[in-house]
């Protein structure tokens, strides 16, 4: 298994959008109008691509709500989720 690319989905309060950011480069790769839009219907999976990724999804108060791994089979066994 290759090392997963890490992303974070959080709200940019100044722009009033949700941004999916590459943790290593700090580059925003996709923006969404709502958090529901970002997390529904495979939108995150499509945005991060097929190479495998881990996405931290934050609440508006900047605390981590959950973490998702794409594809699911790449989720490390030692993780709690």
Q: Is the pLDDT of residue 79 over 60?
A: no
Q: Is the pLDDT of residue 78 over 90?
A: no
Q: What is the pTM of this model?
A: 0.85
Contacts of 53-60 with CB under 8 Å at 24 or more apart are 53/4, 53/5, 53/6, 53/7, 54/4, 54/5, 54/6, 54/7, 55/6, 55/7, 55/8, 55/9, 55/20, 56/6, 56/7, 56/8, 56/9, 57/9, 58/8, 58/9, 58/10, 58/11, 60/11, 60/13
pLDDT tens column, 21-45: 999 999 999 999 999 999 998 899 9
């Amino acid at each position: 298994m290759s090392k997963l690319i890490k992303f974070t989905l959080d709200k940019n309060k100044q722009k009033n959008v949700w941004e999916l950011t590459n943790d290593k480069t700090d580059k925003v790769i996709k923006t969404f109008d709502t958090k529901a839009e970002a997390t529904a219907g495979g939108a995150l999976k499509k945005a991060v691509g097929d190479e495998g990724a881990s996405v931290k999804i934050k609440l508006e108060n900047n605390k981590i709500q959950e973490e998702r791994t794409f594809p699911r089979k790449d989720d490390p066994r030692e993780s709690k989720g």
